[in-house]
Amino acid sequence: MATPHINANFGDFANVVLMPGDPLRAKWMADTFLHDVKMVTSVRNIYGYTGLTKNGKKISIMASGMGQPSIGIYSYELFSKYGVDMIIRVGTCGGYQQNINLYDVIIASAASTDSNWVHQYGLNGHYSACADYDLLETAVNVARSKKVNLHVGNVLSSDIFYDADKDGWKKWQDIGVLCVEMEAFALYCNAAKLRKKALCILTVSDSFVVEGELTSEQRQAGLTRMMEIGIETAEKFAK
Ligand code: HPA
């Protein structure tokens, strides 16, 4: 069995999949956090791995690529063809608010978007894309136990990284959106439509309002910490 974008067999994925954007980060996560790892898919170098955590829980890690079309494809195929129950995106974002510092962790309880993703559903209004509450509550508790600077709220999933409208982001800031990334909205919609569970956990890698830059060590430490939150959350739901 295979889908157009995944060449794994049914049963190769665990019920929970952690999803970074970058395929090499997926490999690094599998090498760092899992043992007895098997690579289960590699179409277009979008690598997917299944293995055991240090606590013996079976989980999978697979890259999403960048943007909503990409995560939309992989999450749809995982949910609908591979029996995956939940996907936890672990990624980076650009902070919009003054109280959000580089290196903070943001958990997206909801996602807004400038994309046309929901057009396909023909809805007679505006859809609110939400995280699964069980995953959200668990991840928030895990993050709090690690004493990270945590923000929970609405994020913007934008289709545009290099925006011709240089001030457009200020309106999202003004309405209280925490940060911008490029995938959560489509992931949450796919999960809702297919009656599955999804969550997005982010590290603030840059900011539209706070000065400064992360050193490469801080960046790596921030990513590692976020992935630990993702892994510990995933372990609580692994079958
Ligand atoms: N925009 C969109 N996605 C991002 C950003 C950003 O500024 N930073 C990290 N991911």
Q: What is the pLDDT of residues 40-85, one digit of tens each?
A: 999 999 999 999 999 999 999 999 999 999 999 999 999 999 999 9
Q: Using most ligand atoms within 8 A of CB, pick from 70, 102, 161 the residue to mutate for ligand 1.
A: 161
| Average pLDDT estimate for 168-183 | 98
Distance 8 CA to ligand 1 centre (A): 30
- Which pLDDT band holds residue 219 (cuts at 50, 70, 90)? confident
Cβ(136) to ligand 1 under 6 A?
no
Rg (CA), the chain: 17
Q: Are 102 and 221 in contact (CB under 8 A)?
A: no
Q: Is 22 in the pocket of ligand 1 (CB under 6 A)?
A: no
3 CA to middle of ligand 1, Å? Answer: 29
Report pLDDT for 214.
86
**Catalytic residue check, 206:** yes
Percent of the chain beyond pLDDT 70? Answer: 100
Residue 200 — pLDDT band, cuts 50, 70, 90? very high
102 lines ligand 1 (CB under 6 A): no
Query: Quick check: CB of 132 below 6 Å from ligand 1?
Result: no
Q: Any residues with CB less than 8 A from the CB of 126 and at least 6 apart, and which? A: none
| pTM reported for the whole predicted model | 0.97
Q: CA torsion sign, 59 to 139 to 155 to 95?
A: negative
- Tell me if 40 sits within 8 A of 48, measured CB to CB: yes
| Average pLDDT rounded to a whole number, residues 161-190 | 98
Ligand 1 mean position, distance from CA 163 (Å): 11
pLDDT tens-place string over residues 111-168: 999 999 999 999 999 999 999 999 999 999 999 999 999 999 999 999 999 999 999 9
**Which of 64, 92, 113, 179 has most ligand 1 atoms within 8 Å of CB, for mutation?**
92
- Residue 145: C-alpha distances to residues 149, 187, 232 (Å): 11, 26, 11
In this prediction, residue 216 carries a pLDDT of 87
Residue-wise DSSP of 120-165: GGT-SS---EE--HHHHHHHHHHHHHTT--EEEEEEEE-S-SS-SS
